[in-house]
Amino acid sequence: MTIEAPPPSVRVDDLVLDGRLHLEDLVDRDGLDELCRSFVALFGIPVRIYSNEGGLLADTAIEHELCAYVNTTVEGRKACAATVGAVKARDAGESGDVLHPCFTGAAYRILALEYDGRRVGRLIVGPFLPPQVTEPLPSLLSIDAAIDKDRAQVLLGKMPRAKAETVTRITTHLKSALDLILFSGHKSFVTSKMHLASVRESYRQLEDKTARLQEAFDRLKELDRLKSNFLATVSHELRTPLTSIIGYSEMLVEGLAGELKPEQIEFVKTIHAKGGQLLSLIMSLLDLSKMESGTMRMTMRPVRIEAVMKEVVSTLLPTARKRGVKLQMSADASSLGEVRGDPERLRQVFINLVENAIKFTPSEGSVTLRAAMVDEDGDGGDDDAGLALLAPTRALVEVRVVDTGIGIPKREWGRIFDPFYQVDSSSTREYGGTGLGLSIVKRLVESHGGTIRIEDNPPRGTVFVVTLPQTSAGADVTSDARAPAESRPDG
């Protein structure tokens, strides 16, 4: 089976390999802001960080007094805005480090931020005053007539001064701190993505496997259905010629085709008996497959269970006698009422159980059929909640088939109802049979809304306990016997 696997959900390469990493994804903005603030607190020079996409990630702009003063004039404000705009737009250049002068004499440094050898953003430091500027430049004084030279001189003195080397040292330090932040940011970014990706990948694999299992399961189910159909057809086709074989051998024994010698009669009788066995096996198989496919029709009506029991006893009495086993029944007809069921099928249930009981009981032993009314909680149900409501619907008829035979070990109780299961293979030889009886019994009982269980009969023997709902309780029993676990449409 080859199911093409879809490609994995995430590319590890995308997480670490190419240049699509955005500064925004890698840093914690608050942390970045704090870092820049501590930088400003130390050196008094403003810092701003822009991502490649132009996003402002950290801004610690403090307004110098000189700048505030310039901004009080009309032309000064215009020139200031123009400078700030130009700085914001300026690239760090080939070298990754450029100086941008301001008309006040101050300057900005624009530096490239790199991560993993690639530019991811810009660092803007300033404005600060280069040491060589000691008094107001003409460019400042001429910008607006309202600027007073003395005042400008005083405010200029208050601006932070920094040599180029100092700014370089400071920014190098800042950049390496930033690099660490970016690395750990990148790392946790990748980690969280990998978490998601590996979960998704495992899920995808599971889904894949589930789909395969489902497919295999559906195929098996279909095969099972085909097998049941096959069994039903073959059984049916076998039955017709077999009936002829039995019929003709019967006629031969009865002498309808002329006298036979005693030896010939023996032979034909054997043919007749074996044919009978074969027919009952086929009938069992047929029943089983009908029940499995849910096509067994049952005619449900009120049935007096003690009548069914009587019939079973009288049918099997000769067999019991032959084996030296005592067969008896007890039932209080007046208290039992009726159960809802198909009398023919119920007869089949008890014929099977009593046949087994006789078969597995040595001579001198006994087999007893006993019927009584029980409440559902009478058989160990410990939940009596709402009993007032439920009791009326729970009246049950219990039929016990008790023998004093070889017994069934407890560990076999669970499997004894499986088709073809027999307690041990040597008993197959000693007792014959195919192991289909109990599996049919169980299905029949369950399709009557009843249950079957096994109990010990100390000191020796087995009890099969069948419970069936009383008529009023069995109102919901349908007339179609279906496999108890699941129902499927006929055909």
Partner 1 sequence: MRGIVQINFGGREIALKLVYYGPALSGKTTNLRSLHHLTTETSRGRLMTLETRDDRTLFFDMLPLTLRAETSVTGADRAGTPAGMTLRIKIFTVPGQVLHASTRRLVLQGADGVAFIADSQISETEHNAASFLDLRRNLKELNLSVKELPLVIQFNKRDLDRIRSDEELAALASRGREPVFRASAVNGDGVLETFFGLLDVTWRKLDREHQLAKLLGIASTELLPMAARQLGLETDVATLLSSCLGGTTQRTAEVSS
Ligand X SMILES: Nc1ncnc2c1ncn2[C@@H]1O[C@H](COP(=O)(O)OP(=O)(O)OP(=O)(O)O)[C@@H](O)[C@H]1O
Contact partner at residue 190 from Mg ion, ligand X, partner 1, none, CB < 5 to 8 Å by partner kind: partner 1
CA distances, 34 to each of 140, 167, 186, 422 (Å): 33, 20, 19, 81
Of the candidates 439, 444, 437, which has an alpha carbon nearest to the alpha carbon of residue 482?
444
The DSSP call for residue 471 is T
* Beta-carbon count within 10 A of 481 CB: 23
Contact partner at residue 406 from Mg ion, partner 1, ligand X, none, CB < 5 to 8 Å by partner kind: ligand X
Torsion over CA of 281, 221, 415 and 449, rounded to 10 degrees?
-80
Query: Which span (34-42, 290-298, 349-357, 392-400) binds ligand X, by CB under 6 A?
Result: 349-357
Contact residue for partner 1 among 40, 141, 154, 190 (CB under 8 A): 190
Contact partner at residue 119 from ligand X, Mg ion, partner 1, none, CB < 5 to 8 Å by partner kind: partner 1
Contact residue for ligand X among 45, 436, 444, 481 (CB under 6 A): 436
Contact between 345 and 375 under an 8 Å Cβ cutoff? The reply is no
Contact residue for partner 1 among 191, 428, 472, 487 (CB under 8 A): 191
Taking residues 280 to 299 in sequence order and writing x for each that binds ligand X by CB under 6 A, - otherwise, the string is: ----x---------------
Establish if 71 lies at the interface with ligand X (CB under 6 A): no
What is the rounded distance in angstroms from the CA atom of residue 356 to the CA atom of residue 466? 15
* 475, amino acid identity: A
What is the rounded distance in angstroms from the CA atom of residue 341 to the CA atom of residue 474? 9
* Beta-carbon count within 10 A of 271 CB: 17
Establish if 12 lies at the interface with partner 1 (CB under 8 A): yes
Establish if 1 lies at the interface with partner 1 (CB under 8 A): no
What is the rounded distance in angstroms from the CA atom of residue 41 to the CA atom of residue 125? 13
Per the DSSP assignment, residues forming a β-bridge with 402 are 368, 463
Q: Match 């899920």 to its residue by tokens.
A: 203
Of the candidates 395, 370, 331, 379, which has an alpha carbon nearest to the alpha carbon of residue 463?
370
To Mg ion, the closest distance from the beta carbon of 433 in angstroms equals 5
What is the rounded distance in angstroms from the CA atom of residue 72 to the CA atom of residue 151? 13
Contact residue for ligand X among 348, 368, 404, 462 (CB under 6 A): 462
The DSSP call for residue 155 is H
Contact residue for ligand X among 403, 447, 452, 470 (CB under 6 A): 403
Contact partner at residue 198 from Mg ion, ligand X, partner 1, none, CB < 5 to 8 Å by partner kind: partner 1
Phi, psi of 95 (to 5 degrees): -80, -15
* Beta-carbon count within 10 A of 469 CB: 23
Per the DSSP assignment, residues forming a β-bridge with 121 are 51, 113
Establish if 427 lies at the interface with ligand X (CB under 6 A): yes
Taking residues 406 to 425 in sequence order and writing x for each that binds ligand X by CB under 6 A, - otherwise, the string is: x-x-------x-----xx--
To ligand X, the closest distance from the beta carbon of 380 in angstroms equals 22
Cβ-Cβ contacts under 8 Å for 210 (sequence gap 6 or more): none
To ligand X, the closest distance from the beta carbon of 213 in angstroms equals 32
Site for ligand X in 350-369 (CB under 6 A): 352, 356-357, 360
Query: Which span (13-21, 55-63, 428-436, 478-486) binds ligand X, by CB under 6 A?
Result: 428-436
Ranked by CB distance to Mg ion, the top (closest) residue is: 437
What is the rounded distance in angstroms from the CA atom of residue 61 to the CA atom of residue 45? 9
Q: Exposed, middle or buried, 316 (CB in 10 Å: 0-12/13-18/19+)?
A: buried
Contact residue for partner 1 among 19, 255, 302, 432 (CB under 8 A): 19
Taking residues 426 to 455 in sequence order and writing x for each that binds Mg ion by CB under 5 A, - otherwise, the string is: -----------x------------------
Of the candidates 99, 102, 109, which has an alpha carbon nearest to the alpha carbon of residue 71?
102
Contact residue for ligand X among 405, 450, 469, 474 (CB under 6 A): 405
Establish if 94 lies at the interface with partner 1 (CB under 8 A): yes
Establish if 198 lies at the interface with partner 1 (CB under 8 A): yes
Establish if 201 lies at the interface with partner 1 (CB under 8 A): yes
Torsion over CA of 245, 250, 252 and 256, rounded to 10 degrees?
-120
- Footprint of ligand X (CB under 6 A): 284, 352, 356-357, 360, 403, 405-406, 408, 416, 422-423, 427, 433-439, 462
- Footprint of partner 1 (CB under 8 A): 5, 7-8, 10-13, 16-19, 91-94, 112, 116-117, 119, 183, 186-187, 190-191, 194-195, 197-198, 201-202, 204-205
- Footprint of Mg ion (CB under 5 A): 356, 437
